[in-house]
Structure 1
């Protein structure tokens, strides 16, 4: 996503890329083409809008900075980092340093939901689409029935309003009386903020149905929880592609994003069963977890990146 962010101001005005705006992809030098359907629609409009203006102006400003720090693992995004630091994406860009995965900071003692303590190890799917994404009530009810149909235990965080707004509606008003009663048999549904880190690290959690916001992706990597990606907007399709490429999870690309066509309960149930039963995905997620943690303990990854940054800053100040 950073490669798109820093180069978009050149792509938007490039004759070489003019055709790609009318075709099915956007081409960034040295990297694989990005499908047009993965790009936020507002960036592809002919007229300027708030998001497009923001990305163009900030992309230009990044070339004037002293460095760019990214919360990612160097080993999983080598090609992008090499392209950015080799001047292939845009000339004049400062050094881009991978300093992730940054470990969670447990400054408060948050207890996970007590319900999880009674569930078998790896049996529960955690379902959350972040604090900035709302799903239609029709889709919420299909999702709830899909979770029940999967036969898996679940912790489901329901959000009914976009961004960080609260709507004052009770949970039963959102998902309905009948579904509210049925979900009690297999899972737990909440309509308030939960500590996601505490849930993902709980041994009962064996999968994550996620919108693939970057924070959620890095938290899943840190805790070794494999992902069923259902991106909704913004950078999330690009993140979902990374999740699939590195083996952290799977992405059902036919599922709509941003309130499009309703995904039916049967599809959801089948996909959750498939992902929760996939031992290969589980082992790959644990491999990524160990790689992230070893990077800190053995002086690689984030520790190496931060150490190099400190040396550079000391040198400039001396």
Structure 2
């Protein structure tokens, strides 16, 4: 007899898939793409809100997550708070999916035991909540393809651990003024740098500034090669908003991070990075 399983590749499963798996009588596994700490926080939401439905309406202090500890108000995603216009993310997506987690056979986490030992142990021991499925740390998971259009030849010319790698992705809401200040910081920091930046943002700096910046570093367009660049021996520091895939790439390559978390899971991810000793 043929055997099948259903995989859900999101940081938490769509609740509708559990019903499909039940109807087909096949196991359902979730692939979590965030930190174990943020996954645990989301998984605890049904318990938290059943005990205090106004937990995010009058949130004046820390949230206590069993086995995880305190989650400060500043680390709680802004979209979770009741006065946020995007509060529907919590109510219509995260909470229903968290309630469906007990119906999942297991969860593959893109992390590893050494990086989040206490959190993974808490999930294994049922301290977060006893109804959660088994977790399987399988990280780091990355893509190590540099491709033809890359700056590898420039990196090959640089001394070991001498280059600051800056990559905030393509969707991060960073203002024009913030980008200019990042550029000024890179120009005066005294280190060579590799900055990933969309081509349409280059006009913020002007030709004169770009020429001066090119004397000290390289600006490259976004591409699917972050993990491969991180693994290059010339990279000595990674500046990022703590998007979890990027954190795992840095951990795999042993590159220290300077975190600038913005929203969503990034502040909790930054706490994991600092506790693991990878950066701050």
TM over 0.5: yes
Aligned match of 2:27 = none
Aligned match of 1:137 = 176
Question: Could you list the runs of 5+ residues in structure 1 that have no partner in the other structure?
Answer: 160-168, 251-318
Aligned residues: 240
Structure 1 position 220 matched with structure 2 position 250: yes
Whose strand fraction is larger, Structure 1's or Structure 2's? 2
3-state SS of the aligned residue for 1:22?
coil
Larger displacement relative to structure 2 (108-117 or 241-250): 108-117
2-structure distance, mates of 1:32, 1:92: 19
Cα 1:139–1:81, aligned 2, differ >3 Å: closer, same or farther? same
Q: Alignment RMSD, CA only?
A: 2.3
2-structure distance, mates of 1:112, 1:10: 47
**Counterpart mapping for 1:20-169 below 5 A:** 21-45=58-82, 49-52=87-90, 53-102=92-141, 104-106=142-144, 109-110=147-148, 112-113=150-151, 114-159=153-198
Larger displacement relative to structure 2 (217-226 or 45-54): 45-54
Q: Offset at 1:130?
A: 2.0
Check whether the contact 1:157–1:189 (CA below 8 A) recurs between aligned residues: yes
Aligned match of 1:254 = none
Q: Offset at 1:110?
A: 5.0
2-structure distance, mates of 1:232, 1:176: 27
Cα 1:66–1:107, aligned 2, differ >3 Å: closer, same or farther? same
Cα 1:69–1:192, aligned 2, differ >3 Å: closer, same or farther? closer
Question: Could you list the runs of 5+ residues in structure 2 that have no partner in the other structure?
Answer: 1-37
Check whether the contact 2:170–2:222 (CA below 8 A) recurs between aligned residues: no
TM-score where L is the length of structure 1: 0.69
Whose helix fraction is larger, Structure 1's or Structure 2's? 1
Cα 1:59–1:26, aligned 2, differ >3 Å: closer, same or farther? same
Structure 1 position 196 matched with structure 2 position 226: yes
3-state SS of the aligned residue for 1:125?
strand
